[in-house]
Amino acid sequence: MKSKWTIPAVIIGAILLIGLIIGGMYNSLVSGRESVRTAFSNVQTQYQRRADLIPNLVSTVKGSANFEQTTLQQVIDARAKATGITVNADNPQQVKDFIAAQQGVTSSLGRLIAVAENYPDLKASAAYRDLMTQLEGTENRIQVARSDYNQAAQPYNTKIQSFPTNLFAGMFGFTRMEPFAADAGAGSVPKVDFGTGGVAP
């Protein structure tokens, strides 16, 4: 004669098993999201490092006689817009706005460097050379941070869209993390070649 507890025990066991599976998926999502958040924070840190260099760059360029004020103002405005944005890595639209603003800074810096080619005294100054070296190093750090972020976001985004995790991801508030576009030049400023007087792509 079968025990009357057999069926309830099976049901309880199944519920516990499902609970463990869901708990495992939840913990995995939390871990993935935190990795993406940390990586995005590192991206922000490097962009802030670039923003902190710009006032010194502007001050140095202003010291060059008759430097084009429009180009200089574009850099100032782009920096103000980029640093004024509040961004949450979990909010795709905010991340898109952040990326667009940073690309605006990149473009304006590129134009400033190109215009600076017409000012030999500026290019020859130690202060300008030092700032260009720091800026180039910062751009390299930005590229690494962006790559690390994308590498963290890609498996996380795949996970929340894959069965069976996708059945619970939205329920628990896990959403897609916006990646940086795979554009090798999106985060790099043209490099000044002091030897030839040209601007490298």
Q: Tens digits of per-residue pLDDT, 79-109?
A: 999 999 999 999 989 999 999 999 999 999 9
Average pLDDT of the segment spanning 48-66: 89
The least confident of 16-20, 35-39, 67-71, 86-90 is 16-20
In terms of Cα–Cα distance, which of 151, 171, 153 is closest to 25?
A: 171
Classify domain 6-200 at the CATH topology level.
Helix Hairpins (1.10.287)
Domain spans of the chain, in order of start: 6-200
Using only C-alpha atoms, what is the Rg of the chain?
25
Distance CA 169, CA 25 (A): 9
Query: What pLDDT does 186 receive?
Result: 43
Query: What pLDDT does 197 receive?
Result: 37
Q: Is the pLDDT of residue 14 over 60?
A: yes
What are the distances in angstroms from CA 15 to CA 7, 10, 21, 118?
Answer: 12, 9, 10, 73
What are the distances in angstroms from CA 126 to CA 123, 131, 156, 180, 189?
Answer: 8, 9, 45, 34, 19
Q: Is the pLDDT of residue 50 over 80?
A: yes
> How confident is residue 123, by pLDDT bands cut at 50, 70 and 90?
confident
Q: Tens digits of per-residue pLDDT, 127-182?
A: 999 999 999 999 999 999 999 999 999 999 999 999 888 888 888 889 999 888 75
Query: What pLDDT does 142 receive?
Result: 95
> How confident is residue 13, by pLDDT bands cut at 50, 70 and 90?
confident
Average pLDDT of the segment spanning 178-187: 63
